[in-house]
Amino acid sequence: METPGISAGSTQLLQTRLGLAGPDARHSTRIRRYMARLAEQDTPAAWFHGSFAVDPWSKAIDLLNLRDELVVNGWTGLAPDEPSAKLNALASL
């Protein structure tokens, strides 16, 4: 059932942004995938390198939660003109 004034595309976009639609991936699967992405991007110069080297699972959870919070609040995944090291790392992931 569609809400008057809201297109199906808008509804689907909102559901996706809020994590209510899309692939049904368990949280642990999302963390594992994000951890793999962090491993691909990890270098000694990476912002997250030190904590990722000590505890990759927890660092992946922290960054994934931060990413999700930013997306819910409208972040498109692009770094602004003068990003912080953390936001730059998230954008590159």
**What type of residue sits at position 92?**
S
Paired tokens of 54: 């000590």
Paired tokens of 76: 């498109």
Query: Tell me: the pLDDT tens digits for 69-92?
Result: 998 889 888 888 888 888 888 888
pLDDT greater than 60 at residue 14: yes
pLDDT greater than 90 at residue 63: yes
Paired tokens of 51: 């904590």
